[in-house]
Amino acid sequence: MLMKKQLKPRIASLVLALSCGGASGLALADADPIKGQQTSAMCIACHQADGNGKSNAGAESWPRLAGLNAEYIEKQLRDFRGGLRQSATMMPFANMLTEQQIKNVSAYYAQLTPTHTEAVSLTDEQQALGKRLAVRGDWDRYIPACNSCHGPDAAGVGKSFPELAGQHSDYIRQQLHAWKNGSRSNDPNNLMLAVAKRMTEQDIDAVALWLAKQPIK
Ligand code: HEC
Ligand code: HEC
């Protein structure tokens, strides 16, 4: 009698977990980058076959995913789904993925080799301003150095602070605007909003170009 009573709710929760596409309640398999490559067929039109994305001057740019931290990529895909990060372009693709596919495709992109695909040119003034903001910040205006969070050489730190060196300049610019206008609000403790809201257009241009030009570590 006792067994039967205990069994029922367990079966009920198993059925529930399965009907939710297996995402909740059931353990996921280890990330499989080979399966992730199959899933990436949906992504290459924009993020490109080598994962290095593309700048589309004047239009929405496609960020480089190659070499980014796998857990950072996973988080972004979940944030697009959940609307903390709004993108009419990315949301439908994020919505198509199961939790297992998110893990697989993120592991796949993390192990691709990042390269520069954008020819960046800066004025001397932009070079000086971009470097100053990235390396030292501007304490008179309460702007901390980008590298204090994003790591020496803006090479990224763990799963929380993404690599910025060698990312597309238009994309970096778009993200700084997204924090300012509220369409991206997925940063823990509003860390990036606090930075972006103090930046002028001139700052944003200079730092985006400077970071895009830095060597990828
Ligand atoms: C139609 C073009 C397009 C397709 C297809 C596409 N993406 Fe994107 N992706 C974008 C754009 C544009 C952005 C930048 C969105 C924004 O402004 O926030 C982006 C952003 C991302 C980001 C955030 C990167 C970062 O540095 O934070 C991830 C992760 C991502 N895409 C993964 C994928 C995956 C995985 C697929 C395939 C399942 C995919 N995308 C398919 C256009 C696309
Ligand atoms: C106090 C810590 C902190 C500082 C300082 C900081 N960032 Fe960030 N930044 C973050 C965090 C955290 C994220 C990831 C947010 C998330 O989880 O999506 C981020 C993400 C970004 C992204 C998105 C990258 C991508 O792949 O989508 C850009 C662009 C960016 N930061 C630019 C800058 C620039 C430029 C500066 C300096 C002017 C700067 N950040 C300073 C914490 C910081």
Question: In sequence order, which ranges of 20-69 are alpha helices (DSSP H)?
Answer: 33-39, 44-47
Contacts of 111 (CB under 8 A, 6+ apart): 33
Whole-number average pLDDT of the chain: 90
- Which of 171 and 2 is assigned the larger pLDDT? 171
Residue 69 Cα to ligand 1 midpoint, Å, equals: 15
- CATH number of the domain where residue 184 is located: 1.10.760.10
**Which range, of 50-59, 164-173, 193-202, 205-214, averages the lowest pLDDT?**
50-59
Q: Is 131 in the pocket of ligand 1 (CB under 6 A)?
A: no
Q: Round to whole Å and give the CA distance between 197 and 187.
A: 13
- 91 and 165, same domain (yes or no): no
What is the reported pTM?
0.91
Q: What is the mean pLDDT of residues 36-65?
A: 96
- 106 and 131, same domain (yes or no): no
Could you report the per-residue pLDDT of 88-145, keeping only the tens digit for each? 999 999 999 999 999 999 999 999 999 999 899 999 999 999 999 999 999 999 999 9
- Does the pLDDT at position 197 exceed 70? yes
- 133 and 191, same domain (yes or no): yes
Could you report the per-residue pLDDT of 151-187, keeping only the tens digit for each? 999 999 999 999 999 999 999 999 999 999 999 999 9
Query: Which of 60, 80, 150 gets mutated to test ligand 2 (max ligand atoms within 8 A of its CB)?
Result: 150
Q: Does a structural domain hold residue 14?
A: no
pLDDT at 217: 85
Q: Which residue has the tokens 């304490």?
A: 139
How many structural domains are present in the chain?
2
- 104 and 128, same domain (yes or no): no
Q: Give me the domain span that covers residue 133.
A: 124-213
Q: Round to whole Å and give the CA distance between 208 and 202.
A: 10
- 135 and 187, same domain (yes or no): yes
